[in-house]
Structure 1
Amino acid sequence: MSLVTLTVLVAFFHISVGSDTPCLNHGGTCQDDSTSCSGNYVSNLCSGSASRRCCESSSDPCAAIGGICKDDHLYCAGSYVTGKCSGGTTNRCCTSHNNGGSDQSICDNIQVISRDAWGARGPTHVTTLNHRVHLFFIHHTDGHTCHSETECAGVLKGVQNYHMNSRGYNDIGYSFLIGQDGRVYEGRGWGVVGAHTLHYNSLAYAVSFMGNFMDTLPSPNSLNAAKALVQCGVNKGYIEANYSLFGHRDVGNTDCPGDTLYAEIRTWDRYNYTHSATIQ
């Protein structure tokens, strides 16, 4: 064998191994998927033909809990679990747990989609809100609305990117958000100071309806979800039982939460705006 031929073969070997790196990083082995795999086959991690796939061992921590390692900016129908995948910190295990992403630890009586399930970025800083609040604010995002869990995950990521990249927030600003599918989506969640209502972030939680509600109302399911969310906060001790509810415009120069939605919340039992001195 000539030196030139040997050099080419060595180079080819290195290229092949290098292109199999994603599989190797998952603790797997690239092989033809017609052969037996002791764990699960995963596509798009190996070089070569489409039938050459990554066999991840059943001893893989993520595969062992029925998950697949993927970048957590991608939508996960269940919940992301940390510490089960190799690679960077954003490479996490997407599982089918939490009843399709619904986290009962957040609220028992409604479907709340956890941050992990919709693929939230990690916050750059967290300030704990460790006392009951007596105020609750209603907002709208004044942007795209959504009607399914997948669609809402995309809207949420857009809102979070805007808040963090353009406005310099530590995280998505709202405590929770609601889609037209009637699901509640965890923003900063309970026990965390938000960035939703200037001067009131440490005194209140806030929910934002995804969409613009100047001329239309949110769906009945989403309105009911908002009411149930506040009651959940009361039941879990995050909100005072005698709380007062307001719209964002009650304390700021803004159209939020939209004319039609604002008219609606003014009919709710705990809406309590009479003049600015009421809110303290």
Structure 2
Amino acid sequence: MKILLANPRGFCAGVNMAIESLDLTLREFGAPVYVYHEIVHNKYVVESFKAKGAVFVETLEEVPPGSVLLFSAHGVSPEIRRVAKERNLNAIDATCPLVTKVHLEALKYAREGYKIFLIGHEGHDEVIGTMGEAPEVMILVESEEDVDKLEVDPESKLAYLTQTTLSVDDANRIIKRLRQRFPNLVNPPKEDICYATQNRQEAVRLISSRADLCLVLGSQNSSNSQRLRELAAESGIDAHLIDGKQDIDKAWFEGVENVLITAGASAPETVVEECVDWICEAYDAEVEPVVIRQENVHFPLPKPLRQLSKPKG
């Protein structure tokens, strides 16, 4: 058996920045540090931070006034920022800069009098935060069917934005349908789906033709991980999204010669390594790294943390 180990995979620059931010905040301020929503959508990452003293909350009412609070990589709405200020919370913003870009685009289009279609998944933390920037002019669109149901004056000023972790193919289908209905539709000069999402999807698309089975490391609530599993399945191979080696089912490997392994942008490399080791031991497999493209993206830490990250001396 051969393991085709996709590269790029795993942590993106935004996830690295958010995780480093929470590590530094815990080190500097001590536990508890409150985090609004999961820092990233990964069970292992969240559990490891809980053990260090991070407290993940769904409402700011759960955070005692004056506490240290971290905003997760997925971003928050202006209303959440207002409540944090009202409660005198020491808020540190670890929003991914690529998500911030979409927020700023929403504000720009709203100021210019546009009605905005946001292509994304209802209930996702990122979508909730982005919609909160201009709720009165934003309409969530999840599918081509949603586009067909839209009741909007085609002569009005219309723009679209996208969640950063969507399937590129799905987003393009929805955008095509929107343009068919609304030919005057405008969009930002640079697309919103992030580089890491696109790169990981490209790797799965190119490598899956060589594989009989695909294992995607990532949690069920991770949008970009779900898209990787769907993409592999669309290529005609058996594909599973798993948190770690404990989720592997030996029945998947019957008649399998080549296993594609990748990881969503919030999945730690340690869980990838554990799965690779498990398969190598169970099936005497050899590993073939398959590099599709190099990634060298780095995002700066939030301003309050930048000095803390510098070596003392």
TM-score range, shorter chain: under 0.3
Whose helix proportion is higher, 1 or 2? 2
Say which structure, 1 or 2, has more relative contact order (CA 8 Å, 6+ apart). 2
Q: What TM-score do you get using the length of structure 2 for normalisation?
A: 0.25
Q: What TM-score do you get using the length of structure 1 for normalisation?
A: 0.28
